[in-house]
């Protein structure tokens, strides 16, 4: 069958599309489809998919997950985008796993952006925790990527973390003033749990 993406025509075996995609299963079950895709003139078009994205999808469909061990992070993001849009569950799962294991690892801002855009809830909480625990505030470019709402919530969470850390340190100083021992390792553990509590409070939907 023929598909058109941007200005490029692709010939694709219908079997792969119908077998692996919820989108195409529904599409081909539609009795109105008729001869769609059987010629260049009736090629199935995709307005929301780029040529490069579709190529990444075809690479996976025809050659499998181990076809190219040197695929870039960008290739996996493009595969994630197309697989999510067109309902290719196996390709989507592969892209998520590959991005999760990428080296160097995606930074926290990238993970939040992709998780929110492509509905990957398991990435959100760890990334929020990382952003709230780091010593440096969000850069302007990072805020642009995350968007206003997420940036505002992260700012609230970071402020709450700082306030609670100050209170923890105050109590530690009081204990030391009374001659009690304060274990630095215990303090670090308490601070890590503190950050997680704040994130769960500010981002309750991210908790899995």
CA distance readout (Å), 81 to 52, 85, 104, 121: 11, 6, 20, 16
| Largest Cα–Cα separation, the chain | 85
The neighbouring-strand residues paired with 2 are 11
* Direct distance between the N- and C-terminal alpha carbons of the chain, in angstroms, rounded to an integer: 41
Sign of CA dihedral 151, 152, 157, 158: positive
Contact 142, 109 (CB under 8 A): yes
- Hey, what domains does the chain have and what are their CATH numbers? 2-105 (3.30.710.10), 107-208 (no CATH)
Tell me, what's the pLDDT at 170? 83
Sign of CA dihedral 114, 120, 124, 126: negative
Residues 117 and 157: their CA atoms lie apart, in Å, by 21
Residues 130 and 139: their CA atoms lie apart, in Å, by 15
Tell me, what's the pLDDT at 67? 55
Residues 161 and 146: their CA atoms lie apart, in Å, by 20
Tell me, what's the pLDDT at 115? 96
Q: Please list the pLDDT of the chain residue by residue as tens digits (208 residues).
A: 788 899 888 888 888 888 888 888 887 776 555 567 777 877 888 878 999 999 999 999 888 766 555 578 999 999 999 999 999 999 999 999 999 998 888 999 999 999 999 999 999 999 999 999 998 999 999 999 999 999 999 999 999 999 888 888 788 788 888 887 777 777 778 888 999 999 999 998 776 5
Q: Model's pTM, two decimal places?
A: 0.82
């Amino acid at each position: 069958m023929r598909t058109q993406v941007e200005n490029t025509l692709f010939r694709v075996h219908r079997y792969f599309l119908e077998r692996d995609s919820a989108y195409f299963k529904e599409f081909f079950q539609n009795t109105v489809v008729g001869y769609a895709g059987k010629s260049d003139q009736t090629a199935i078009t995709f307005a929301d998919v780029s040529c490069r994205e579709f190529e990444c999808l075809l690479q996976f469909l025809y050659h499998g997950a181990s076809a190219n061990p040197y695929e870039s992070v960008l290739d996996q993001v493009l595969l994630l985008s197309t697989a999510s849009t067109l309902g290719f569950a196996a390709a989507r799962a592969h892209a998520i796993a590959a991005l999760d294991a990428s080296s160097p690892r995606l930074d926290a801002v990238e993970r939040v952006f992709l998780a929110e855009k492509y509905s990957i809830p398991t990435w959100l909480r760890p990334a929020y925790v990382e952003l709230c625990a780091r010593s440096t505030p969000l850069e302007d470019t990072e805020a642009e990527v995350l968007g206003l709402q997420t940036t505002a919530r992260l700012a609230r969470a970071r402020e709450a973390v700082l306030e609670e850390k100050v209170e923890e340190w105050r109590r530690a100083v009081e204990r030391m003033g009374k001659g009690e021992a304060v274990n630095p390792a215990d303090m670090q553990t308490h601070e890590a749990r503190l950050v997680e509590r704040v994130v769960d409070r500010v981002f309750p939907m991210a908790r899995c």
